[in-house]
Structure 1
Amino acid sequence: MNQAPTEHAGLALSSHFQPIYSLAHRRTVGFEALLRAKHAGRPLMPGQVFALMEDPEACYQLDLAILRTHVAHAPVPSEPRWLFLNVHPASLIDPARTALVTESIAAAGLSPQSVVLEVQEHALGGDDKLQQCIRQLRKQGFLIAIDDFGVGHAHLDHICEMEPDLVKFDRQLLRSASNNPRLRNLLFRLVHLMHESGALVIQEGIETDNDVLVALESGCDLVQGDYIARPGLAPDGDELITPRIDARWDELMVRDLLRRKITRRQLELARQSFVQSAILLIQNTPFDEAARPLLSMPNVLRCFLLDSEGRQIGRNLNTKQAATQSTHPKFAPLADTTGAIWSRRAYFQHAIDQPGVLYMSEPYLSMTDTRTCVTLSMAIEIDESMHVLCTDMLAPSSGR
């Protein structure tokens, strides 16, 4: 398919389109329009193109020319799909300019509901006019996406203020999460945070098999990148994309199934040991001795005992692997938890509400040694007084 370039200020402008794919729907749900530009026959990156412009007015005129090029050559889908268009901040500093943007889109026969306008996250800070123009676009029915979230210093207040429909995570977040288990867990939580704010999440920069697995594990909604499909005038269709994604999905399911089997076995052994220790405590066995069955488990970090108000009785009983880290000088201010009050923790509240029922918390960051753990807890009666027996375990590996 040939595309005659648009000439503007000595630049030759043309468009490529890259699929944006829904992991849950197993199909392409949109295309991002990507600029291809040449100056004197030399290819330029989009940032270089705008760097040639001398002032905001020139940037706005260029942005309008690019947008008109994109909508003129956008794929005509046979089913509802979004067209993602990047909008330069220069087009969003005046309602009159924003009106010309929307008129150009309407002139191409596109409804606002089928267009996602992407605004870079770093351009949002404290500009009332820009926020006003974005609200204007939302009222007309356009979807709004924050682009490049996670570049430099991301501002969560921008998410709250803009209430975007979608947030695009920068590829660097994915790169970092692929190489660091803690950051993989953070990526999962960031996705959850965006969902809490009412925004769907697009993960950009999917380039490898492992990137797909990380994206699947993160819980993101949509994915984009060269592994999914390279940009083109007529990019790959779902008949080519879906088998690639399905293969990674199957791999993840097999891996998760094995992990769950291991985790179930570990938790069952921990449960048996927990009940042993609880029975010994009910029989007035000293805590140090009663906790031995639990402390012998390989993934257990520590045991501790709370009174009926959530106040810790005595010290933590640490296993060797917990003691190695918790006694490190940098954690010394957190090491002694004697008398600490844990009444606001879910593991205490659930246990005290249902005596005799074993509860396992969600993974959380331990204040004692800053590792991710889960806490098993059960309310039991000792000397006619309610107590809560607790044990911290390393959180079962979830790939996050």
Structure 2
Amino acid sequence: MTLSAPPTPSFAGLTLGSHFQPIYSLPHRRTVGMEALLRASRDDKPLNPIDAYQGLDSLEQRHQLDLAVCQHHIRGFNTFPHENRWLFLNMDAASLAQPAHAEALASSILQAGLPPSSVVLEVPEHALESQERLIDCVKLLRQAGFLIAIDDFGVNHSNLDRVCMLEPDLVKFDRNLLRSAANQSRTRNLLPRLVHLMHEIGALVVEEGIETEKDVLIALESGCDLVQGYYISRPHEQPENDSVITPRIDARWDELMVRELLKRKLTRRQLELARQSFVQTAIALMQGTPFLHAATPMLNMPDVIRCFLLDSAGRQIGQNLNSLQPPAPEDPKLAPLTDTTGAIWSRRAYFQHAIDQPGVLYMSDPYLSMTDTRNCVTLSMAIEIDEAMHVLCADVLVTRN
């Protein structure tokens, strides 16, 4: 149940309206915020929000429009039942043009009746050429208690350095990043790493442009925190509630769970065979069998790419022993990286874990092999050969989505 809608205001001949789009938390399975979106018109003709701002004569007028729009959005937001949700407000570049404008915006929001902790101010990443001025305004708003979100990350000249300097609470990935992930496996595989990077910076991630079932699955796989888009709910004066949204998302959770279970079964079977053969190779080496003979059974495994041996300092002894299965075509562009004799792998996790726990089999996370740029995991174990510590390693191919 909602209260009556606020009266429709006007500004410089523009009629202002508000639509709201839910921002949904995938782990919490509920809406945790609403983004307020301007619905403007002139002479009863709908007007694109960008055109509404750009049609004004001065930066000061755009700033005044921003104040009026934010106040109207807050009045509309206050008609919803009082729940623990954020209101996301888009900021025009004019409100970041100087600290006085940012200060006026903060005061205007407070006067409209919302505590700063309930308001997420969306800062367009490319709002200003002057980073110093942008940072000053953002600091002022953060000190006032508002949450800060960087909007449209992942397009044009997105700048990680700027994200680090602004220290946002949230980063909103642009919809084009999701479109790219839906069409290109490399981007899809990169997306979880990009989410993790934002988490390392200290920001939660909102993925925008969720429009299909596939988009939801990509978002779930990526580990992002919040989602927004037409599949979740279309913008409206009275958007759909969680009783409608959550069953749609739960169905995708179930689909992903089934898919992951099947994938894990295949991967587990594949890796268990490689592990058994790896242990046999390690035992043979410790008993004095020459490396090539000891590794032959493992090199006949269909998914084993190569075996190699390191000394106690992580330096490779001899060349790689490559798979005895039909080889994958070699890329001549990678020829300078093929010979790894004497290479130092001491910074790799597979060496460090193995040397710290001799006799314990370790399996790395999937990663890109520097030797041939295939995705693999590395099995490793520190063993004693001729009274000296060595680390036996084997790269095993993993299939990525």
TM-score range, shorter chain: over 0.9
| Distance in 1 between residues matched to 2:326 and 2:316, nearest whole Å | 18
Amino acid aligned to 2:367: Y
Does structure 2 retain, via aligned residues, the 8 Å contact 1:20–1:223? yes
Secondary structure of 2:392's counterpart equals strand
Q: Return the match for 1:248 from 243, 246, 252.
A: 252
Match of 1:44 in 2: 47
| Distance in 2 between residues matched to 1:185 and 1:153, nearest whole Å | 21
Residues 1:73 and 2:80 aligned together: no
| Distance in 2 between residues matched to 1:292 and 1:126, nearest whole Å | 62
Residues 1:310 and 2:311 aligned together: no
Q: Return the match for 2:185 from 181, 184, 195.
A: 181
Amino acid aligned to 1:56: L
Greater shift in the superposed pair: 105-114 or 65-74: 65-74
Q: Return the match for 1:167 from 171, 174, 180.
A: 171
Does structure 2 retain, via aligned residues, the 8 Å contact 1:124–1:158? no
Question: TM-score normalized by structure 1?
Answer: 0.94
1:342 positional shift? 0.6
Does structure 2 retain, via aligned residues, the 8 Å contact 1:171–1:205? yes
Amino acid aligned to 1:248: R
Secondary structure of 1:290's counterpart equals helix
Residues 1:356 and 2:372 aligned together: no
Greater shift in the superposed pair: 291-300 or 250-259: 291-300
Does structure 1 retain, via aligned residues, the 8 Å contact 2:97–2:128? no
Match of 2:390 in 1: 387
Match of 2:220 in 1: 216
Does structure 2 retain, via aligned residues, the 8 Å contact 1:302–1:393? yes
Q: Return the match for 2:369 from 323, 347, 366.
A: 366
**Residue deviations 1:212-237, cap 9 Å, x none?**
11101111111110100110000000
Residues 1:148 and 2:152 aligned together: yes
1:125 positional shift? 5.4
Q: Return the match for 1:205 from 200, 205, 209.
A: 209
Does structure 1 retain, via aligned residues, the 8 Å contact 2:305–2:397? yes
Greater shift in the superposed pair: 1-10 or 153-162: 1-10
Identity within the alignment, %: 66
Specify every segment of 5 or more residues in structure 2 that has no aligned partner in the other structure, as ranges: none
Alpha-carbon RMSD? 1.8
Greater shift in the superposed pair: 3-12 or 239-248: 3-12
| Distance in 2 between residues matched to 1:79 and 1:163, nearest whole Å | 27
1:62 positional shift? 2.2
| Distance in 2 between residues matched to 1:101 and 1:266, nearest whole Å | 58
| Distance in 1 between residues matched to 2:323 and 2:12, nearest whole Å | 70
**Residue deviations 1:189-213, cap 9 Å, x none?**
1111111111111111110001111
1:396 positional shift? 5.1
Q: Return the match for 1:87 from 85, 91, 95.
A: 91
Does structure 2 retain, via aligned residues, the 8 Å contact 1:347–1:375? yes
Does structure 2 retain, via aligned residues, the 8 Å contact 1:305–1:390? yes
**Residue deviations 1:13-61, cap 9 Å, x none?**
2110000011111111110001112233332222222222233222212
Amino acid aligned to 2:244: L
Secondary structure of 1:291's counterpart equals helix
Greater shift in the superposed pair: 217-226 or 294-303: 294-303
**Residue deviations 1:285-315, cap 9 Å, x none?**
2222222222222222111111121111111
Q: Return the match for 1:98 from 94, 98, 102.
A: 102
| Distance in 2 between residues matched to 1:112 and 1:190, nearest whole Å | 28
Amino acid aligned to 1:82: W
Secondary structure of 2:110's counterpart equals helix
Match of 2:267 in 1: 263
| Distance in 2 between residues matched to 1:63 and 1:223, nearest whole Å | 25
Match of 1:337 in 2: 340
| Distance in 2 between residues matched to 1:99 and 1:76, nearest whole Å | 27
Match of 1:346 in 2: 349
**Residue deviations 1:77-117, cap 9 Å, x none?**
33211000001121122222222212221222111111000
Aligned residues: 397
Greater shift in the superposed pair: 174-183 or 234-243: 174-183
Match of 2:379 in 1: 376
| Distance in 2 between residues matched to 1:339 and 1:113, nearest whole Å | 56
| Distance in 2 between residues matched to 1:157 and 1:19, nearest whole Å | 30
Query: How do 1:112-131 residues align onto structure 2 when only pairs under 5 Å count?
Result: 112-123=116-127, 126-131=130-135
Q: Return the match for 1:53 from 48, 51, 56.
A: 56
1:245 positional shift? 0.5
Secondary structure of 1:386's counterpart equals strand
